[in-house]
Structures are given as structure tokens and as C-alpha cells.
Amino acid sequence: MNEVAGYKIDKLPYEALEKVQDILYADGPILTHYRNARGKNILFYWVDFNEVANRWLIWETNKKDLFDYLSGGISLFEYLNERCPEYLFIADMDNNEHVMATVMLDSFAIPEAYYPNENSYFTLGLPIFYDFYLSDGSYISRLRERSYVFNLKPNDVVHATTVAAKEAGQFLINITKSIESYVDITATDRLKNEIGDRGRLNRTISQLKQRTSPRIADTLFGSFEVSIAMDTVALSTGNAEIDDWSKDIITAYQNDVLDVDYSSEEDAVAIIDRFPDAESRKKIFDPIFKILENPAYSLTVSAFNSSFKKDYRKNKPAERFKEKVLPKQTIEEILNQQEQKAKLVTAIFRVPEGGSISDLRKKELLENLLFTQEGNQPTYPITSPIIAGDLVVITTSPIECALTVDNHNHIILAHTKLGLYAEGADMKEVVDAISRQFVELYQRHLDDPGYVDEKTQELDRLVSTTT
């Protein structure tokens, strides 16, 4: 065994040691936690051996340092190098755990061979016992344990390690959208059979989204490195299904979204299998594509305990991948884009009796313009009851449809949340078409009450009874 530059002593200064738990074990204990009669926490770390003895490096620790190691915040190398007390002990013990020799040594005199490697993080997750034992660990420490570390590096060399504030801000918005959508979709899928009442399910999902909304747990000075966590620290609800979901959600987001090869068509197929609903995929992955395709920076992400790391510079999103994962633009999205690009102007002109506005030239239009006002796109309310054939649906408020009339008096009515769309030359025909679509949508909703999405949530808001 290695020579140790220390002071021989008669025995360890810890009486009545009680074993708490083997933290690391492989064909025998490697790191073991003990407590003495005074409640002090003592760690035994196996560092050397020969044919007659095993050598243990022994030091006293506190709950905070123990929590930081077990939650993945520091490695065992950092534990020894930065967190151990000024003096430690070495004990040579035979196979019957009888102490044969004891040495006290300065922490600076630990033989180099006794240090673990610098990447020696505890990656098994905080053991259940320690989650209780270390429950007085600070909120921020427990939040960091649940976080992902995102590092943005500029793609130019002019600005060193800094990222533009607007790019950093947009990154935070996009990653939050992706995480919140993932929470919404996975929680709904997990709980829809557990919580039969649709109103209570929607309220529960809304509360989960609010309570687990991503929080910044840590930042790094001089760059844009930020630790973002889903706040499940104090989420315990008493509902076993929700509590189980909250324990799985962080690793699940890593597996489903972060640990993806965005240049692999196989991974695209896996995403489609996992999220067959196209709109759900769009909500989760469209913000990720916006992050990864931003030319201003490159992104790496890792788990706080270093059990996972991904460098996205190596697999930028491929176009074929995006085509598979993201749905094609819907009518609603096209209309939304048109609404954003178009500006509605109300104008009042003085027209001669018996004349038409089409008779006025540009100069005459300007001369006869009495009033203009910019505004939002008008809506056309379809009031309750909504009738289609023999079916009647009573709504608590009108269905407000966006109204568009083109230069040829062609009428378009659309409701983006419900996915309703109809067009024609006659308003009554267009309204009847929207009414039929609404009633059919509601009938499908009644036939499959377990399915939940934005459309069904909007229906629940609008509909009170049917006859």
C-alpha cells in the first residue's frame, strides 16, 4: 500500500459508530456512511488494500455537503479536494473490520492515488432514505438537483463568451414553451383516466403547469450558462398518480426531447410514435427547432449531476427530420398569419345619391373621405342554440368566428381554437356550415370523452347542456 505522510494515533476519534448505508458498493462497500453517538456524519472511503488489510480514508462531513454529493452537485473528487475538513484519518482494517493501524493526516497530504477521477459524480439519483434524512437541505439546492444546465456559446469570436440579451431572452421563452407543453401533454395523457371529471382534469393540469413552470436555479457569470429546473420540489399533492408523474417528468423530458439526434430519421419516427398527435408534437418541438436553428449561438445541455450531456453542434436539425415531426400548416395557422400581416381599416366616404364607390377615382375618394379607423379583424357571433339538422347544442356564449370578406364579396368564417372553417357567397350557408362542423365536433367529443386537447377544452368552456 502507498506510504502516507501522517501522524500515527491509537484509535479513531469516533465512538459508537452506527452504519447508516453503503452509498457506493461493488463486490463490497466502497463509500459508506456512518453516524456516531453524537449524531455526527462520518464517511469511510475505500482507497487501498493488500493481502491482509483494507485501507479507508475517513472524514467528518455535514448534511449540506453530503446532499450536494448525493444530488450530483459535486463529484467525489471535489468532495475530497474542496469540502473535507482540515484533518482526515486513515484506518487499515482486517477482513473482520478490526482496526490494525490509524493515521491522522492533513487534507493536503492525501496521496494523489487515493483521489477518484474528476468526473466521479453520484449518478444514481438521490436515494429515498437521504431524500428524507437530508430534507432540511435548502430549496435552491434541491431545485438545482432537478435542473438541466444549458450553455449558449456565440458562433462569432468577436463577443468572447457572451450572448446577446435578446437571443438569451428568446432562448428562455422557447425552452419554457417546450417544457410547459410537455408538462401539459404528458400530464393529460397520464391523468385523463385517473380524473374522470373533465373540468377537474383541466383545473388539475392548469395547476400542474403553473406549479412546475421552469425556474432558473443557477447561472454562470461571464457567459450564458443557465440551470433550468421543473419545480417539483414541493409538488407533493397526496395523489399517488400525480406524485409518480412528477418523479418521472424530469428524466422523461430528457429522454423524449433533449437526448434526441435531430439529424436521425429513426429518432423522428420514435417521436411520432411517442406523440402521435401532430399538434402536440408542434407545441413541444417547434420551440426546440427555433433554438437549435438560431445562427447566433451553439447549444450544449447537461444534467446537473452530469449523468447526461448533449452537444447539438454535431447534429443540427435536418430538413427531413422536421418534415416528419412537424405537421403541415393548418388553415387556422394560415388565417392567423394573414391576421397578423393584414390591417383592417374602417373608412366612410360621401357617395352621390344613386352612385357607387366604384365610380369614384382616387382623387375623388380622397376628397370624399370622411372618417377612417384602424382596428382588429371583425368577428361574427353564432349564438346559442347551435342547430344542425335534428341536433341542438346549447352554448354558454356565442361562437365568435373571424369574418373575412374579399373583393368579390366572398365570405369566410373561421374559429381557430375549434378548427372551424367555411366559405361561400351566402352568409346563411356559411353560418350553417360552421354550425354543422361545431355540432359534429361536439358529438365526437361526447363519443370519446377521454381525449383531451385544446379543442375539447374550448368545447368544455362553451357548452353547458345538449338536447
Q: Which is more confident, 425 or 350?
A: 425
Mean predicted confidence (pLDDT) in 60-77: 84
Q: What is the pLDDT of residue 159?
A: 78
Same domain, 367 and 306: no
CA angle 26, 66, 43 (to 5 degrees): 55
Lowest average pLDDT, out of 113-117, 353-357, 389-393, goes to: 353-357
DSSP string covering 283-335:
HHHHHHHHHHT-TTEEEEEEETTSS-EEEGGGSPPPHHHHHHHSPPPPHHHHH
User: Considering the domain boundaries, does residue 49 fall inside one?
Assistant: yes
Judged against a pLDDT cut of 60, whether residue 135 lies above it is answered with no
The neighbour count for residue 434, using CB atoms within 10 Å, is 23
435 and 419 in a common domain:
yes
The predicted structure's pLDDT at residue 363: 67
Is residue 237 packed enough to be buried (19+ CB in 10 Å), middle (13-18) or exposed (0-12)?
A: middle
Residue 119 falls inside a structural domain:
no
Percent of the chain having pLDDT more than 90? 27
Taking the C-alpha atoms of residue 164 and residue 154, their distance in angstroms, rounded to an integer, is 9
Are the C-beta atoms of residues 186 and 245 closer than 8 Å to each other? Answer: yes
261 burial via Cβ count (<10 Å: 0-12, 13-18, 19+): middle
Claim to verify: residue 215 and residue 314 sit in the same structural domain: yes
Q: CA 455 from chain center: how many Å? A: 23
Which residue bears the cell 436521425?
A: 264
Quick one: 105 and 150 in the same domain?
Answer: no
Residue 213 or residue 9, greater confidence: 9
Report yes or no on 125 lying in a domain: no
Among the listed residues 248, 237, 232, 33, the one whose alpha carbon sits nearest the alpha carbon of residue 142:
232
User: Three cell numbers at 14?
Assistant: 469516533
Contacts of 231 (CB under 8 A, 6+ apart): 143, 146, 211, 212, 213, 214, 215
Specify if 60 maps to a domain: yes
> Does 248 share its domain with 196?
yes
259 and 202 assigned to the same domain: yes
Q: Evaluate whether residue 33 is within a structural domain.
A: yes
**Are 206 and 194 contacting, i.e. CB atoms less than 8 angstroms apart?**
no
Do 368 and 387 have their domain in common?
no
Same domain, 317 and 363: no
* CA 154/CA 332 separation, integer angstroms: 36
Q: What is the mean pLDDT of residues 94-104?
A: 90
pLDDT at res. 79? 92
Q: Name the residue with higher pLDDT: 204 or 50.
A: 50
Distance between terminal CA atoms of the chain?
87
Among 328, 359, 394, the domain-final residue is: 328
Residue with cell 448534511: 63
Whether residues 58 and 203 fall in one domain: no
Listed residue (9, 93, 95) closest to 45, CA to CA: 93
Residue 130 lies in a domain: no
Does residue 387 share a domain with residue 270? Answer: no
At 257 the pLDDT is 94
Where in the sequence is the domain holding 97, given as residue range(s)?
A: 7-114
pLDDT surpassing 50 at residue 296 = yes
Query: Parallel, antiparallel, or unpaired for β 224-229 and 215-220?
Result: antiparallel
3-state helix, strand, coil in the chain (%, to 5): 40, 25, 35
Given 114, 130, 152, the domain boundary residue is 114
The rounded mean pLDDT for the chain is 83
Strand ranges across the sheet with 18-25: 7-9, 99-106, 87-93, 54-61, 41-49, 29-35, 18-25
| pLDDT-derived band at 59, boundaries 50, 70, 90 | very high
Q: What gap in Å lies between CA 225 and CA 162, rounded to an integer?
A: 10
User: What are the pLDDT digits (tens) for 179-201?
Assistant: 999 988 988 888 887 777 777 77
332's grid cell: 387556422
Q: How confident is the model at residue 466 (pLDDT cuts 50, 70, 90)?
A: very low
Within a domain: 126: no
One domain, residues 251 and 308:
yes
In this model, does residue 467 exceed pLDDT 50?
Answer: no
φ and ψ at 104, to 5 degrees? -100, 130
The total number of structural domains in the chain stands at: 4
pLDDT greater than 70 at residue 213: yes
Residue 131 lies in a domain: no
Q: Does 381 lie in the same domain as 366? A: no
Residue 427: pLDDT above 50?
yes
Predicted confidence at residue 127, as pLDDT, reads 72
